[in-house]
């Protein structure tokens, strides 16, 4: 029997990275490639628990786990120590795993597909003579910026801790809006150490890119041909979607789908801030009251740990007052929610996965970025793609209920934004259909894999 090429995929261990790489892995597997997906033990345990031990969803992907050494890190908030420990422990286990696989003719690895942040994974594979595909899970302009950093630092535009004057604007193409200093991914106001760590990580992408044989990303060419053109070897393979919301760390509350079925068409405001963002209690209450003031039905994801108090506390009487038009749950099958005809708009933190999922479903955005790439994604959504409005928070400002209400009203009455969102939805769908750009890029990747493992 013909041996299928064997690909080993390894994500950064966080929801926003595991989900899209798992979706990509499944697509690759559907093209006849054998895929082994390497999770950390703790992430895998979470995914199993969230799915009620139902591993059918992984559908054709082989799952293996490796330790991440986290039990040895005293303070899990110390991201420098966390990253160093992960690199030490995971790279050793990853190398052992690849060696074991390579010692058997049937298991021999044709290529690794690794998250761009896992520089060590590329080095291990290079050392072993295994081909390497880099997966960039965020927006393409972020990759362009990361790759330009050595040059920008050398030119003195950005200093070697990631600081630049506040009026700095980096123009990659005359046809693109400039990347402003306030939108830098590594910007951590008030936390210089964190900023330096994140900045070094952003700079660190250059080497894995240089030693990769393929660059894959979760976007589609037509979304941003100018930026994609700046990295000619890039293969956009998105939007990476799955109707079964693959790879969740939290159990989905599916009752929200029945609730959505009962709501009028395009009436429901969907509110979710991804897997990491958290609100202070005051801001949380203003958001609750803003949603109430809007007068519209709303579906709101309030994860455990979403506020800075131990137990989620709503404004007095809020839950009773909104009970006939609100559904509040701890985790939803987001792609299904965004595809539901009752949803009118998406109040989002602008995580890139949420952005791609909103775009694929033609849903207008109300942007409320919290950290990292989310500020740049906000500018992208509002100023480049023109499919959303910004809440325009000044630093440390609490966004008031009235502002939330006013921006929601404006968004819901903006015909142009709805048209733009609908147009992008069509483009996203076409890119995935047969002969579409992302579908052709996956095909190209798979064919090259098959050829190089003959
Ligand atoms: C993080 C960063 O915040 C983000 O900016 C970066 O681009 C990727 O890593 P996260 O904050 O979790 O990710 O946001 P996002 O990228 O939007 O990913 C969240 C994922 O969780 C999405 O795929 C979304 O569909 C899923 N989700 C979220 C659910 O399935 N249910 C929910 O209730 C909420």
In tens, the pLDDT along 95-104 reads 999 999 999 9
pLDDT mean across residues, the chain: 93
The owner of tokens 């920008």 is 152
Residue 15 has pLDDT above 70, yes or no: yes
CA of 258 to the centre of ligand 1 (A): 23
Closest residue (by CA) to atom 15 of ligand 1?
Answer: 351
Model confidence pLDDT, tens digit, residues 358-375: 999 999 999 999 988 999
Q: Is the pLDDT reported for residue 53 higher than 80?
A: no
Half-sphere exposure of 243 toward its Cβ, with a 13 Å CA cutoff?
2
Return the best residue to mutate from 12, 201, 275 for the ligand 1 pocket (most ligand atoms within 8 A of CB).
Answer: 275
Residue 394 has a pLDDT of 66
Stretch 274-286: mean pLDDT, rounded?
94
Cβ-in-10-Å burial (0-12, 13-18, 19+) of 454 comes to: exposed
> By alpha-carbon position, which residue is closest to atom 1 of ligand 1?
16
Q: Which pLDDT belongs to residue 441?
A: 98
**In this predicted model, what pLDDT tens digit does every residue of 110-142 receive, in sequence order?**
999 999 999 999 999 999 999 999 999 999 999
Indicate the pLDDT class of residue 56, thresholds 50, 70 and 90: low
Q: What atom of ligand 1 comes closest to residue 15's alpha carbon?
A: 12
Average pLDDT over residues 267-283: 95
Single pTM value for the model:
0.96
116: nearest Cα among 183, 204, 181, 49:
204
Q: How far apart are CA 84 and CA 81, in angstroms?
A: 5
pLDDT at 57: 66
Which pLDDT tens digit goes with each residue over 192-226?
Answer: 888 888 899 899 999 999 999 999 999 999 999 99
User: How remote is the CA of residue 3 from the centroid of ligand 1, in Å?
Assistant: 36
Task: Work out the pLDDT band at 189, boundaries 50, 70, 90.
Answer: confident
Strands 169-170 and 179-180 come out as antiparallel
pLDDT per residue as tens digits for the range 157-182: 999 999 999 999 999 888 777 899 98
Confidence of residue 80 (pLDDT cuts 50, 70, 90): confident
The CA 15 to ligand 1 mean position distance, Å, reads 6
What lines the ligand 1 site, CB under 6 Å?
14-17, 19, 137-138, 245, 248, 272, 274-277, 301, 331-332, 334-335, 351-354, 357, 372-374
Residues with Cβ within 8 Å of residue 395, at least 6 apart in sequence:
189
Q: What is the pLDDT of residues 293-315, one digit of tens each?
A: 999 999 999 998 899 888 889 99
Question: How confident is the model at residue 91, as a pLDDT?
Answer: 97
- The answer to whether 223 and 317 are in contact (CB under 8 A) is no
């Amino acid at each position: 029997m013909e041996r299928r090429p064997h690909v080993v995929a390894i994500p950064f261990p966080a929801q926003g990275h595991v989900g899209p790489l798992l979706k990509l892995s499944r697509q690759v597997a559907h093209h006849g490639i054998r895929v082994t997906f390497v999770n950390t033990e703790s992430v895998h345990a979470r995914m199993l628990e969230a799915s009620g031990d139902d591993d059918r969803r992984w559908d054709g992907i082989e799952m293996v786990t490796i330790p991440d050494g986290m039990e040895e890190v005293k303070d899990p908030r110390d991201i420098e120590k966390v990253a160093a420990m992960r690199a030490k422990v995971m790279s050793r286990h990853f190398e052992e795993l690849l060696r074991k696989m390579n010692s058997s003719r049937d298991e021999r690895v044709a290529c690794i597909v690794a998250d761009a942040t896992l520089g060590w994974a590329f080095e291990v594979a290079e050392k072993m003579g295994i081909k390497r595909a880099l997966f960039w899970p965020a927006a393409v302009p972020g990759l362009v910026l990361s790759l330009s950093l050595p040059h920008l630092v050398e030119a003195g535009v950005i200093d070697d801790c990631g600081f630049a004057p506040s009026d700095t604007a980096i123009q990659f193409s005359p046809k693109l809006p400039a990347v402003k200093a306030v939108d830098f991914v590594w910007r951590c106001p008030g936390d210089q150490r964190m900023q330096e760590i994140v900045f070094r990580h952003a700079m660190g992408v250059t080497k894995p890119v240089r030693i990769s044989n393929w660059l894959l990303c979760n976007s589609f060419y037509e979304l941003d041909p100018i930026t994609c053109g700046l990295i000619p070897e890039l293969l956009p393979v998105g939007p990476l979607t799955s109707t079964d919301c693959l790879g969740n760390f939290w159990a989905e509350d599916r009752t929200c789908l029945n609730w959505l079925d009962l709501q009028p068409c395009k009436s429901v405001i969907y509110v979710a801030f991804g897997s990491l963002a958290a609100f202070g209690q005051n801001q949380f209450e203003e958001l609750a009251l803003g949603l109430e003031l809007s007068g519209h039905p709303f579906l709101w994801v309030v994860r455990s740990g979403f506020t800075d108090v131990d137990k989620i506390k709503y404004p007095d009487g809020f839950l009773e007052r909104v009970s006939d038009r609100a559904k509040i749950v701890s985790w939803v099958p987001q792609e299904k929610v965004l595809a539901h005809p009752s949803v009118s708009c998406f109040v989002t933190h602008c995580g890139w996965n949420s952005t791609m999922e909103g775009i694929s479903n033609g849903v207008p955005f109300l942007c409320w970025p919290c950290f990292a790439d989310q500020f740049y994604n906000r500018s992208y959504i509002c100023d480049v793609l023109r499919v959303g409005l910004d809440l325009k928070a000044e630093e440390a400002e609490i966004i008031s209920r009235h502002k939330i209400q006013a921006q929601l009203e404006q968004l819901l009455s903006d015909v142009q934004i709805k048209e733009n969102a609908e147009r992008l939805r069509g483009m996203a769908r076409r890119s995935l259909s047969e002969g579409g750009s992302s579908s052709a890029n996956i095909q190209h990747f798979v064919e090259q894999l098959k050829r190089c493992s003959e």
